[in-house]
Amino acid sequence: MDRPTSLSDTGTVQNYVGGEWHTPDGSDGQDVVNPATSERLARVAFSSNVDIDVAVRTAAEAFEEWSARPVEERIQPLFELKRLLEEHHDELAELLVREHGKTRGEAAGEIRRGIENVEVACGIPSMMQGGTLLNAAPQIDESAVRKPLGVFAAVTPFNFPAMIPLWFLPYAVATGNSFILKPSEQAPLVAQRIFELIDRAGFPDGAVQLVNGGVNTVNALLEHDGIEGISFVGSTPVAREIYETSAANGKRVQAQGGAKNHIVVTETADLDFAADKTVSSSFACAGERCLANDVAVVEEAVYDDFVDRVVSMADAQVVGSGLDADTDIGALITPEHEQRVRNYIETGVSEGAELLLDGRDVTVDGYEDGNFLGPTLFGDVTTDMVIAHEELFGPVLGLMRAGDIDEAIDVLNRSDFGNAASLFTGRGADARKFRHQTDIGNLGINAGTAAPMAFFHFGGRNDSFFGDLHAQGEDMIHFYTDKTIYIERWPGA
Ligand code: NAD
């Protein structure tokens, strides 16, 4: 593949500010590495406080003109961006595989989910409307209108580096704000390529900007007076910190954190179907998904039958390079993260869980330097075990026994997290209990991965979410606008 024009001569990822590419001023940085091969793909330099100040000032200047444009004009660049993303879909997916390690199919699905958010934001002329009440009081008509606020920023994680920026960017600009993205320093290349397309989509200079960096860059964004609000997606400790700091600095904030998701399988479930969906939910993207279900709570009566099915299906998963067509499980993001997951497997063994399938000895011919782990299954996991309640973020599934649906729901509700859960059942009464009694933000019933479409918000509760307005859909319109009330009287009318 040709080097993107947005890389500097030294192969450094550049910022996109004021409609131009700039090498960040900061001296720190790190390499961007292909997780399947350990090949260096580029270098990412970390933006300094000065870089951030310039980006925020530029965005604030652009806001004056952009927010005053008719809404129909504001959505035209989004239609063009959708067209460009479709045209470059396969190339973006391949770049995503190279920098992240996921499979081509997973990368294609991710790009599709991102495009769906661009499509939804094209409906802003309807979605952003306020309300009017004639004769709200004697001779008075009253209206509530939505107004954009200024400059917003989003800080995003490595695991969906194309889709998650698009949970925010299209809605921010369609509502009339300016927007700054700080992508993950571990996987910044696909966002950078998307910004090359943004550069061609017809946005005015400064309305949409990209700044690269790490922790200090994020802190500079949180501390800058010129930023109205912050969207964050990442791990729980960082989400909590971002929420607290942003709020203390007077900003709007939404911070989605980590997860520990469960599948419940009842005795009336279609076990083949449930096992198939469990395997794909747990092992897709090598388990590096905030919606991955990594504990299955199974009713005692079908526990052994379900375990047999899951073991044989998991054992058939092919581990390898995401570029190979028959790969089911790609590489983990870094050697350090791979080691972290290996440590969790050690912990599971020492805690006394039954190791039903051990993925630690996997080797991938031709990819000896890649960060690979095979599917790993633990049986007879209990709630007191570390592997039952901490986020593992790898291809590891624990199986737990439950007497009935009430006991299973109790296990789910004892988790500190509240991102997602799925139930497999043939009984409506179980489904109703699951909907009513779980304290979790995304629920799937006979669906393995509870991923909301772009026109719904992305749920999340407890330690999985800090804030009130979520990513995607209508919540984004509320996050990116403030409501003004007009009270009007015309004597004599
Ligand atoms: P991370 O928290 O390490 O990093 C996320 C972003 O925060 C990156 O851009 C990074 O540069 C920045 N960052 C990291 N440490 C920081 C600090 N101390 N101060 C300020 N900024 C900091 O997360 P990750 O490893 O990139 O992503 C994986 C995590 O994201 C998992 O926990 C996963 O569950 C979670 N996630 C959640 C959702 C959701 O919707 N709830 C979606 C995707 C991923």
Q: Which helix (H) or strand (E) holds 123?
A: none
Q: From ligand 1's centre to the CA of 214, what distance in Å?
A: 11
Q: Are residues 246 and 278 in the same domain?
A: no
Q: Are residues 252 and 288 in the same domain?
A: no
Residue 442: pLDDT above 50?
yes
Q: What's the confidence (pLDDT) of residue 337? A: 98
Q: What's the confidence (pLDDT) of residue 143? A: 97
Q: From ligand 1's centre to the CA of 156, what distance in Å?
A: 6
Q: Are residues 239 and 270 in the same domain?
A: no
Q: Are residues 243 and 271 in the same domain?
A: no
Residue 2: pLDDT above 80?
no
Query: Atom 16 (ligand 1): residue with closest C-alpha?
Result: 215
Give the C-alpha separation, 464 to 382, whole Å: 22
Contacts of 180 (CB under 8 A, 6+ apart): 55, 56, 59, 151, 152, 153, 154, 209, 210, 211, 221, 227
Q: Which helix (H) or strand (E) holds 487?
A: strand 481-489
**Would you place residue 52 in the very low, low, confident or very high pLDDT band (cuts 50, 70, 90)?**
very high
Q: What's the confidence (pLDDT) of residue 468? A: 97
Query: Atom 20 (ligand 1): residue with closest C-alpha?
Result: 215
Residue 456 lies in a domain: no
Q: What's the confidence (pLDDT) of residue 445? A: 98
Q: Are residues 268 and 237 in the same domain?
A: no
Question: For 179, what's the count of Cα atoms within 13 Å in the CB-facing half-sphere?
Answer: 25
Residue 237 lies in a domain: yes
Q: Are residues 134 and 195 in the same domain?
A: yes
CATH of the domain at 303: 3.40.309.10
Query: Atom 10 (ligand 1): residue with closest C-alpha?
Result: 184
Q: Are residues 300 and 390 in the same domain?
A: yes
Q: From ligand 1's centre to the CA of 257, what distance in Å?
A: 7
Q: Which helix (H) or strand (E) holds 174?
A: helix 169-174
Residue 179: pLDDT above 50?
yes
Six token digits for residue 492:
């004599």
Question: Looking at ligand 1, which atom is closest to the CA of residue 419?
Answer: 41
Task: Report the domain count for the chain.
Answer: 2
Query: Atom 9 (ligand 1): residue with closest C-alpha?
Result: 184
Q: What is the mean pLDDT of residues 276-290?
A: 97
Q: From ligand 1's centre to the CA of 249, what distance in Å?
A: 20
Which of 182, 185, 192, 235 for a ligand 1 pocket mutation test, highest count of atoms within 8 Å of Cβ?
Answer: 235
Q: Are residues 401 and 478 in the same domain?
A: no
- pLDDT tens for residues 65-100? 999 999 999 999 999 999 999 999 999 999 999 999
- The total of other beta-carbon atoms located within 10 Å of residue 51's CB is 23
Question: Looking at ligand 1, which atom is closest to the CA of residue 464?
Answer: 41
Q: What is the mean pLDDT of residues 324-338?
A: 98
Residue 140: pLDDT above 90?
yes
Residues with CB under 6 A from ligand 1: 155-160, 182, 184-185, 214-215, 218, 233-235, 238, 256-259, 290, 391, 393, 419, 458, 460, 464
Q: What's the confidence (pLDDT) of residue 9? A: 72
Residue 317 lies in a domain: yes
**Would you place residue 1 in the very low, low, confident or very high pLDDT band (cuts 50, 70, 90)?**
very low
Six token digits for residue 349:
């063994």
Question: Looking at ligand 1, which atom is closest to the CA of residue 333?
Answer: 25
> What value does the mean pLDDT of the chain take?
96
Residue 470: pLDDT above 70?
yes
Residue 224: pLDDT above 80?
yes
Residue 142 lies in a domain: yes
**Would you place residue 4 in the very low, low, confident or very high pLDDT band (cuts 50, 70, 90)?**
low
Question: Looking at ligand 1, which atom is closest to the CA of residue 213?
Answer: 11
Q: From ligand 1's centre to the CA of 44, what distance in Å?
A: 17
DSSP 458: B
Number of H helices, E strands in the chain: 17, 23
pTM score, two decimals? Answer: 0.97
CATH of the domain at 75: 3.40.605.10
Q: Are residues 409 and 424 in the same domain?
A: yes
Give the C-alpha separation, 415 to 146, whole Å: 38
Domain housing 245: 12-257+464-485
Q: What is the mean pLDDT of residues 267-290?
A: 98
Query: Atom 43 (ligand 1): residue with closest C-alpha?
Result: 290
Beta bridge partners of 395: none
Residue 248 lies in a domain: yes
Q: Are residues 234 and 281 in the same domain?
A: no
Which of 102, 216, 217, 238 for a ligand 1 pocket mutation test, highest count of atoms within 8 Å of Cβ?
Answer: 238
Query: Atom 17 (ligand 1): residue with closest C-alpha?
Result: 215
Q: From ligand 1's centre to the CA of 118, what distance in Å?
A: 23
Residue 380: pLDDT above 50?
yes
Residues designated catalytic: 290
Which of 13, 159, 185 for a ligand 1 pocket mutation test, highest count of atoms within 8 Å of Cβ?
Answer: 159
211 contacts 55 by C-beta, under 8 angstroms: yes
Six token digits for residue 213:
């960096």
Query: Atom 30 (ligand 1): residue with closest C-alpha?
Result: 234
Residue 3 lies in a domain: no
Q: From ligand 1's centre to the CA of 281, what distance in Å?
A: 20
474 contacts 127 by C-beta, under 8 angstroms: yes
Q: What's the confidence (pLDDT) of residue 5? A: 65
Q: From ligand 1's centre to the CA of 285, what distance in Å?
A: 16
Question: Looking at ligand 1, which atom is closest to the CA of residue 237?
Answer: 2
398 contacts 353 by C-beta, under 8 angstroms: yes
Q: Among 19-28, 203-212, 398-407, which stretch is predicted with the lowest mean pLDDT? A: 19-28
Burial (Cβ within 10 Å: 0-12, 13-18, ≥19) of residue 406:
exposed
Sheet holding 140-148, edge to edge: 131-137, 140-148, 481-489
Residue 453 lies in a domain: no
Q: From ligand 1's centre to the CA of 129, what distance in Å?
A: 33
Residue 490 lies in a domain: no
Q: Are residues 146 and 236 in the same domain?
A: yes
Burial (Cβ within 10 Å: 0-12, 13-18, ≥19) of residue 133:
exposed
Residue 142 CA, chain-centre distance (Å), reads 39
Q: Are residues 29 and 169 in the same domain?
A: yes
| End-to-end CA, the chain | 68
Which of 184, 231, 469 for a ligand 1 pocket mutation test, highest count of atoms within 8 Å of Cβ?
Answer: 184
Task: State what percent of residues in the chain have pLDDT above 70.
Answer: 99
Query: Atom 26 (ligand 1): residue with closest C-alpha?
Result: 157
